[in-house]
Amino acid sequence: MTTHPFSARFDRVLTACGLTGPLRRDVALAVVLAAVTAALIRTVTEALPVTVGATATALAVLQSLLLAVRRIAPATCLLLVAAVQTALPLLLPSDLTVRGIATAIAAYTCATLLPVRRVAVLVAAAGVAEIAGVLAAMTIAGSWPVVVLLSDVVSAAVALVGGALVGGSVATRRRYAELVRVRAAEVVAAQQSRADAAVRRERTRMARELHDIAAHHLSGMVVQAGVVEQLVERDPATARRTAAELRAQGRRTLRDLRTVVGTLREPGPGDGPETDAPVPGLADLDRLVERAAALGAPVVLQRHGPPAEPAPIADVTCHRVVQEALANAREHAPGAPVRVVVTSTAAHVTVEIRNGPALAPRPDGTADGDRGFGLVGMRERAHLVGAEFSAGPAADGGWEVRLVVPLEPGTEGDPT
């Protein structure tokens, strides 16, 4: 729950004055109320033809000072404050009632810190004791002023019951705010856990593909190095030595990759069985679009620019982003047309996937909302290859995904 600006400002003022803890602040409150009580009693005795003795004044001041322990021992504080209030009528004229705010503050504090049943017992006991004190004072004085009796009963009820009700309301709001805070923290933790799991799954998948790519290309490097070692005739000694080093380095790299990445190749929960099929890339988008169209989605693939071949892992990233975007379109905008545009230049490859607004209700009957954690995986893949990735609502109410993959120098049109 958000703190009120005035409360925050008042808290800063108290902290600046050195009142940093509950005890210090309660002591300061008790001292201030004690001084105010003494001043009020003096003002009343000067303005009215009544006399309040030193003992009664001391008890009234003591009643305020007892609030210094209101949060340390709330029940004891309330009982002591009520005991002082019970004794005051015995020391005052029968037609005079003195009641400070200490009783209400003590009841309020008990209601904010103690169980409801215990608060009810304490308030009832304090009220009975106070009324008993008033009746005892009237019995001793031999007079029964009804107005004074009713005034004492009403003031006791207002102070004790009113303070307890306000404190109970504050305690309820605090518990509700704490419940909301805990629930919000649980939701955030669950969301973060799902996002982390999605990232881990995507990284594992990328690691498997990286292993396949590295194994394929490094194995070819080893074979080519062996051919170079046998065929190069110019400076054959240096050529053979260089080729041998290349082959040894390739073998070491291949071994290290298998050691580091190979542990991630075991299928996780929900993964399908692994196959030896080649890792897909931009060249396989036609088949991917055909499969999506076979599922009932009107998908169109457009290519612009000369054919370009990005780095192997970037090539896989392009394919996986299109695959995930098509899956999202089927789920969140069933029946909407989808257009996949691949634009190649000398510097980069841009892949854009745009679907229109949903033309049919979703199978589960729910509204289109969060795109799930597929975007997390796509963004993770783009970051891995240094690509620019963006996804968001389109102007026509659909959804647009855009991936810009930089090309390594010399990769465009490279047949290898």
Strands 399-406 and 388-393 come out as: antiparallel
**Mean local confidence (pLDDT), 65-88:** 92
Phi then psi for 192, rounded to 5 degrees?
-65, -40
pLDDT at 46: 75
Describe the crossing of helices 285-294 and 312-332 by its angle, rounded to 10 degrees: 10
Tell which wins on pLDDT, 416 or 30: 30
Give the separation between CA 112 and CA 110, rounded to whole angstroms.
Answer: 5
Give the separation between CA 198 and CA 374, rounded to whole angstroms.
Answer: 8
pLDDT at 367: 45
Whether the Cβ atoms of residue 344 and residue 304 lie closer than 8 Å to each other: yes
Instruction: Report the topology of domain 282-406.
Output: Heat Shock Protein 90 (3.30.565)
pLDDT at 165: 94
Tell which wins on pLDDT, 104 or 205: 104
pLDDT band at 224 (very low <50, low <70, confident <90, very high): low
pLDDT at 38: 86
Give the separation between CA 374 and CA 321, rounded to whole angstroms.
Answer: 9
pTM beyond 0.85, yes or no:
no
Whether 80 shows a pLDDT value over 90: the answer reads yes
Q: Identify which of 30, 25, 186 has the alpha carbon closest to the alpha carbon of residue 105.
A: 30
Place of tokens 């990769």: 411
Mean pLDDT of the chain: 79
Give the separation between CA 39 and CA 48, rounded to whole angstroms.
Answer: 14
Q: Any bridge partners for residue 403, and if so which?
A: 351, 389
Burial of 378 (0-12, 13-18, 19+ CB in 10 A): buried
Quickly list DSSP for 206-262: HHHHHHHHHHHHHHHHHHHHHHHHHH--SSHHHHHHHHHHHHHHHHHHHHHHHHHHG
Whether 359 shows a pLDDT value over 80: the answer reads no
**Mean local confidence (pLDDT), 196-220:** 68
pLDDT at 111: 94
